[in-house]
Amino acid sequence: MKASWDIFCSVVDNYGDIGVTWRLARQLVAEHGLAVRLWVDDLRAFVRLCPEADGQALQQERQGVRVCQWSADWQPTPVADVVIGAFACQLPRDYVTAMVEREKAPLWLNLDYLSAEDWVEGCHGLPSPQPNGLRKFFFFPGFQAKTGGLLREAGLLAARQTFQQDPAVRQAFLQAMGIAPAANARLISLFAYENAGLAGWLDVMATDSRPNHVLVPEGRILGDLQAWLGVGELAVGAIEVRGALTVQVLPFVSQDQYDRLLWCCDFNAVRGEDSFVRAQWAGRPLLWHIYVQEEYAHWEKLEAFLALYTKGLSVAASLALINLWRAWNMDRDMGECWLQVLQHEQELTEHAGHWCRQQAAQPDLATTLVQFYLNWI
């Protein structure tokens, strides 16, 4: 009998939490043959990632995962063998009581946020005894050997390599999305929160000697984009041209489509956690808009990742990338920083591929979770 897993996801205000848990749930089913229920408290966010889903259903089967509506009116349900609370969400009180009363206590995991900070390795896998007698284990995704690794499906990088090496396949995908960049255009994806630094970046791209085609999935950055363009509300499908810059607004797409969009681009600006990891698997230079935390705690996460990621780069290329990331996340002018990055474009592209291969040499997050469970029993 295959083990049962419950994953609880509380959607905060973006798509990173549901994006991570939905990917994880699918992989646990597809690659490890597990019975997985994904409990989601906001099915509207789930429907954005899985358009065929029913936003009203109490329970539904999607790609082998039992997706359940996590409502305030909690109804008794059997406790799973493994219980994952994603990103420190609070499990239903009655469910926790049922965990205590279960003949064999389940493995309770707190799947935490992704971080490159040094302390993560020391805390990964540690138990946290609870007043009710249960033990909850901290489980940290990460970039180093003593962490839980990153979400990566089997065959992902092989599929990406095949896609990127076939211009006809890439062209067909872009065409299906309504994207027709100039032959020599630099293709950039832009998925970000509101950012005052956007205008300076767009100014420089508009005066570039090489065409720049920026693809913007609908989201929170559109307001800043509208202000710079001097237009009214930008709708999906809108295409605006300013000098050497073409800006195109794309619809919110499925996760698999978004992966391929990242694979098509020469440079990817991403936000949060889910798209951040997927951009790394694209093997292209990237820019991360990290989610803002209280007391600027996110800056420490940003600097920790940069310290790790830039190893192996030349001093000049490393400094250019670091300055760009700092400018983007601290609302500084992006123009000069972008010009510096362009001077090292080839080195940064090669480095992104090297980083991707380096991370792929480590076990993926789903596999480390399953192995942790097998060791626990």
* Active-site residue list: 17, 273
Looking at residue 291, its pLDDT comes to 76
16, pLDDT greater than 80: no
1, pLDDT greater than 80: no
- pLDDT tens digits for range 154-165: 999 999 999 999
CATH node for 156-360: 3.40.50.2000
- pLDDT tens digits for range 295-308: 666 789 999 999 99
Give the residue among 197, 300, 177 at the shortest CA–CA distance from 249: 177
- What lies within 8 Å, CB to CB, of 79 at 6+ separation is 6, 95, 98, 99, 102, 106
Class of domain 4-150+365-376: alpha beta
Q: Which of 207-216, 260-269, 271-280, 293-302 has the lowest mean pLDDT?
A: 293-302
Instruction: Quote the CA–CA distance of 361 and 219 in Å, as a whole number.
Output: 33
81 vs 44, higher pLDDT: 81
180, pLDDT greater than 90: yes
Output the pTM of the full model.
0.95
Q: Give 104's DSSP letter.
A: S
Strand order across the 267-271 sheet: 239-242, 245-250, 212-217, 186-190, 267-271, 286-289
Instruction: Quote the CA–CA distance of 50 and 354 in Å, as a whole number.
Output: 32
The string of DSSP codes covering 261-317 is: HHHH-SEEEEETTHHHHHHHHTTS-EEEEPPP-GGGHHHHHHHHHHHHHTTTS-HHH
- pLDDT tens digits for range 25-79: 999 999 999 999 999 998 988 998 888 999 999 999 999 999 999 998 999 999 9
Helices (H), the chain: 16-32, 43-49, 93-101, 119-123, 156-164, 167-176, 198-206, 222-229, 255-264, 274-281, 297-309, 315-329, 335-342, 345-360, 365-376
pLDDT average, residue stretch 226-234: 94
Q: Give 41's DSSP letter.
A: S
Give the residue among 368, 366, 377 at the shortest CA–CA distance from 29: 366
Whether the CB-CB separation of 369 and 356 falls below 8 Å is answered with no
164 burial (CB, 10 Å; 0-12 / 13-18 / 19+) is: middle
Looking at residue 296, its pLDDT comes to 62
Give the residue among 149, 4, 16 at the shortest CA–CA distance from 89: 16
Give the residue among 155, 126, 113 at the shortest CA–CA distance from 372: 126
Token couple for 306? 């940069």
- What lies within 8 Å, CB to CB, of 64 at 6+ separation is 26, 29, 30, 36
- pLDDT tens digits for range 183-215: 999 999 999 999 999 999 999 999 999 999 999
Domain with CATH 3.40.50.2000 in the chain: 156-360
Give the residue among 115, 111, 110 at the shortest CA–CA distance from 96: 110
Backbone angles phi and psi of 214, in degrees to 5 = -100, 125
Instruction: Quote the CA–CA distance of 1 and 296 in Å, as a whole number.
Output: 47
33 burial (CB, 10 Å; 0-12 / 13-18 / 19+) is: exposed
Whether the CB-CB separation of 134 and 224 falls below 8 Å is answered with no
Looking at residue 12, its pLDDT comes to 74
